[in-house]
Amino acid sequence: MVNRKKIEPFFYLLPAFIVMATITVYPFIYNVLLSFHEWNLTTFRGKHFVGGQNYLGIFRNPDVWNSLRVTGIYLVTCVGFEFILGLAIAFLIHSEFRGKAVVRGLLLFPMIMCPVIAGLIWRWIFNAEWGLANYMVNLIGLSGKPWLVKPRLALFSVILADIWQWTPFIVLIVLAGLQAIPEELTEASEVDGASWWQIQRYISLPTLKPVLLIGLLLRTIDGLRFVDKIFVMTYGGPGSATSVFGFFAYIRGFKFFQMGRTAALSIILLAIIIFLANVFIRLFRGAR
Amino acid sequence: MTISKEKMSAQHIWGVVRYFLVAIIVVFFSVPVVWTVLTSVKPDILIPKMPPSWWFRPTGEHYVSIFLEKHLGKALWNSFIIASVSTICSLAVGVPAAYAFSRFRIPGGENLAFYFLTSRMAPPISVILPLFLIFKTLHLIDTRVALIIAYMTFNFSFVIWMMRGFFNEIPKDLDESAMIEGCSRFGAFCKIVLPLTAPGIAASAVLCFIFSWNEFLFALILTNIEAKTLPVAAAGFITDRMVLWGKLCATSVVIYLPVMLFALLLRRYLVRGLTLGAIK
């Protein structure tokens, strides 16, 4: 009986362990080993061991540093704007007004759109000749711009598409956080003469802190994993102006077929994600 | 008197300003969607027209033509089969494991559950590169099986993490009292706990389906023709010479519709799912 109790959990866990081992652990180990080999699928030379060469090569490659820089700009700008806008919108629509339910419903739509489709639609919006962006720009009396052709504008365009897709996510989580604040608390402080700002500063913001940290964690990880929109909007260009790290690694692997180097790149990206995730999780535990 | 009047008018002005701001927000977030739907029913001649025509006689030609194209029907079927099977397999494996994490004292259980979750946070390239090479040696490239397995890498850890949260909300006493009354543990799990978590299972299933349905990069790398899914097919409307916007938008609507329906049904669980259960 005792024995049976001990093995019982494994009955439920075994399938998950088997699946985990075959589809994630084994490929991961394979990937780590691969990162110490040179293997180019376009040549007939097979896989051979090169030690840490791939990693050294990465640190010496200016293209890698460029893609890290692009990723950094992209990440900080996107996450920054998504949080500022998301917070502002959430506070704006938190109070009661007619049509609130409709506005909330509409806000769901961007974030469930297939990212690659969102990218395609925004590529069209930014089309210099017949895109909506230049139409709007013309309406307010400015001249149209070649959005996806100029390096800086291209990065801006991709960032704007991402802001469009993910700001509603921040709005929704902030609204969920605001709903958790008991009304009696804000009412009582209003009676005691606290101003709107004071209530937000001393009651809402501290309660929202864990929610915001979770949002920050998820958006940062997603931002580092991001590639879909780049594919269809700019394909990393013009030049390498929008070549974020994930996209750069993809090109090494599936256009130049340098398997070992791509493996090393993907492991560096994974390490960055794990490091940042741990920082945020520590912060999160502190906030609780 | 005067003070309250001033206060009244200030409030009035704020009310107007707020509606104005809300209107801007609504326009910004809905225009791309509205634009896609409009273009999908716009005659070809009007599509590259600037200023855009907002009023016209709608046409179904793009929808007819995408369904007449054999490869698109196939892509739709592939997307459906791949997303469904991957979801079902992930649930079959993940739900019992989630139950175990919620009910049994497993040494290092908390860390283990979290470890399962990290596989979801890995960058796609680090998952897809080894899978591509492994599938290549197994001759699985361009098959549905390959994508089903690839999607399970993120779906099944998602199921474990989400369902563990749902199981934790159901009191342990419930399965224990059922066991005292003669049920086996497995019987209690199937007859008492599972029905109670049905909404949670449905929510996890729908979210898994959406993640797979919308996925692009894995599908791009692992398929060519036979197992191509809808998002890859949609991206294929961009060629070097021209972009077939009408067809592209019609395909986008076809991809988008089921997801939209699901999202409206699932509103309550959407935030919970997208934050991996952290915010309820």
Chain A residues in contact with B22 by the CB 8 A cut-off are 92-93, 97, 99, 103
Residue B260 CA, distance from chain mean position? 10
* Partner residue facing B125 (CB), from A23, A123, A269: A269
Q: What is the 3-state secondary structure (H, E, C) of chain A?
A: CHHHHHHHHHHHHHHHHHHHHHHHHHHHHHHHHHCCEECECCCCCCCEECCCHHHHHHHHCHHHHHHHHHHHHHHHHHHHHHHHHHHHHHHHHHCCCCCHHHHHHHHHHHHHCCHHHHHHHHHHHCCCCCCHHHHHHHHCCCCCCCCCCCHHHHHHHHHHHHHHHHHHHHHHHHHHHHHCCCHHHHHHHHHCCCCHHHHHHHHHHHHHHHHHHHHHHHHHHHHHHCCHHHHHHCCCCCCCCCCCHHHHHHHHHHCCCEHHHHHHHHHHHHHHHHHHHHHHHHHHHHHC
Residue B127 clears pLDDT 80, i.e. is over it: yes
Least confident stretch, A11-20, A52-61, B237-246 = B237-246
CA angle A177, A114, A163 (to 5 degrees): 50
B79 touches chain A (CB under 8 A): no
> Model's pTM, two decimal places?
0.91
State mean pLDDT over B122-149: 93
ipTM confidence:
0.89
* Partner residue facing B210 (CB), from A110, A112, A263: A112
**Residues of A numbered 20-79 whose beta carbons fall under 8 angstroms of chain B's beta carbons: which are they?**
20, 23-24, 27-28, 30-31, 34
Q: What is the 3-state secondary structure (H, E, C) of A93-134?
A: HHCCCCCHHHHHHHHHHHHHCCHHHHHHHHHHHCCCCCCHHH
Residue A41 confidence (pLDDT): 84
Chain B residues in contact with A129 by the CB 8 A cut-off are 48, 50
pLDDT band for position B223 (50/70/90)?
A: very high
Q: What is the pLDDT of residues A55-99, one digit of tens each?
A: 998 989 999 999 999 999 999 999 999 999 999 999 888 877 788
Token pair 């054999």: residue = B70
From B206's Cα to the closest Cα of chain A, the distance in A is 12
SS3 (DSSP) at B238: strand
B210 touches chain A (CB under 8 A): yes
**Contact of A29 with B127, CB cutoff 8 Å:** no
Residue B83 clears pLDDT 80, i.e. is over it: yes
CB-based contact B216 A110, cutoff 8 Å: no
CB-based contact A23 B278, cutoff 8 Å: no
Residue B220 clears pLDDT 70, i.e. is over it: yes
CB-based contact B123 A225, cutoff 8 Å: yes
A259 touches chain B (CB under 8 A): yes
All domains in chain A, ordered by first residue: 51-287 (1.10.3720.10)
Task: Classify residue A208 as exposed, middle or buried by CB count within 10 Å of its CB (0-12, 13-18, 19+).
Answer: buried
CB-based contact A117 B234, cutoff 8 Å: yes
Residue B55 clears pLDDT 70, i.e. is over it: yes
Residue A118 clears pLDDT 50, i.e. is over it: yes
Question: In terms of pLDDT, which residue wins out, A148 or A78?
Answer: A78
Beta bridge partners of B238: B243
Instruction: Tally C-beta pairs within 8 A across A and B.
Output: 230
**Contact of B136 with A39, CB cutoff 8 Å:** no
CB-based contact A31 B255, cutoff 8 Å: no
Chain B residues in contact with A120 by the CB 8 A cut-off are 234-235, 238, 248, 252
**Residue closest to B87 by CA, chosen among B248, B258, B279:** B258
pLDDT band for position B173 (50/70/90)?
A: confident
Question: In terms of pLDDT, which residue wins out, B205 or A99?
Answer: B205
| Best residue in A7, A113, A209, A243 for a mutation probing chain B (most B CBs within 10 Å) | A113
B258 touches chain A (CB under 8 A): no
Residue B60 clears pLDDT 60, i.e. is over it: yes
pLDDT band for position A2 (50/70/90)?
A: low
pLDDT band for position A174 (50/70/90)?
A: very high
State mean pLDDT over B85-104: 93
B184 touches chain A (CB under 8 A): no
Whole-number average pLDDT of chain A = 88
State mean pLDDT over B139-167: 92
Residue B3 clears pLDDT 70, i.e. is over it: no
Residue B115 clears pLDDT 80, i.e. is over it: no
CA angle A54, A57, A59 (to 5 degrees): 115
Question: In terms of pLDDT, which residue wins out, A76 or A208?
Answer: A76
* Cα separation, B241 vs B252, whole angstroms: 21
How far is it between the farthest Cα atoms of chain B? 84
Least confident stretch, A48-62, A92-106, B211-225, B245-259 = A92-106
A221 touches chain B (CB under 8 A): yes
Residue B107 confidence (pLDDT): 78
Residue B1 confidence (pLDDT): 47
Chain B residues in contact with A23 by the CB 8 A cut-off are 131, 149, 152-153
CB-based contact B271 A112, cutoff 8 Å: no
**Distances from the Cα of A187 to the Cαs of A90, A110, A196, A199, B199, in angstroms?**
19, 34, 11, 10, 35
Phi then psi for residue B238, to 5 deg, are: -90, 115
Give me B12's structure tokens.
């009035």
Question: In terms of pLDDT, which residue wins out, B177 or A71?
Answer: A71
Chain A residues in contact with B126 by the CB 8 A cut-off are 28, 31, 266-267, 269-270
Token pair 């917070």: residue = A87
* Cα separation, B131 vs A26, whole angstroms: 10
**Residue closest to B94 by CA, chosen among A13, A2, A106:** A13
Residue B67 clears pLDDT 80, i.e. is over it: yes
A7 touches chain B (CB under 8 A): no
Residue B250 confidence (pLDDT): 92
A228 touches chain B (CB under 8 A): yes
**Contact of A111 with A168, CB cutoff 8 Å:** yes
Residue B70 confidence (pLDDT): 82
Give me B69's structure tokens.
């194209």
- DSSP annotation of B53 reads P
pLDDT band for position A169 (50/70/90)?
A: very high
pLDDT band for position A207 (50/70/90)?
A: confident
* Cα separation, A199 vs A189, whole angstroms: 7
Give me B251's structure tokens.
């395909």
Residue B2 confidence (pLDDT): 53
* Partner residue facing A121 (CB), from B28, B214, B252: B252
Give me B13's structure tokens.
């002005």
Q: What is the pLDDT of residues B14-23, one digit of tens each?
A: 888 888 999 9
Question: For B69-77, which contacts have Cβ atoms below 8 Å and span 24 or more sequence positions?
Answer: B71/B225, B71/B228, B71/B233, B72/B230, B72/B233, B72/B251, B74/B228, B75/B228, B75/B229, B75/B230, B75/B232, B75/B233, B76/B230, B76/B254
- Percentage above 90 pLDDT, chain A: 37
A93 touches chain B (CB under 8 A): yes
CB-based contact A111 B274, cutoff 8 Å: yes
CB-based contact B96 A262, cutoff 8 Å: no
Beta bridge partners of B72: none
Dihedral over Cα of B42, B43, B49, B53: its sign: negative
| The domain made up of B64-274 is a member of CATH 1.10.3720.10 | yes
Token pair 């590259």: residue = B48
* Cα separation, B98 vs A12, whole angstroms: 8
Phi-psi group of A226: left, alpha or beta (phi > 0 → left; psi -120 to 50 → alpha; rest → beta): beta
Residue A181 clears pLDDT 80, i.e. is over it: yes
CB-based contact B100 A12, cutoff 8 Å: yes
**Residue closest to A132 by CA, chosen among A107, A155, A164, A168:** A164
A113 touches chain B (CB under 8 A): yes
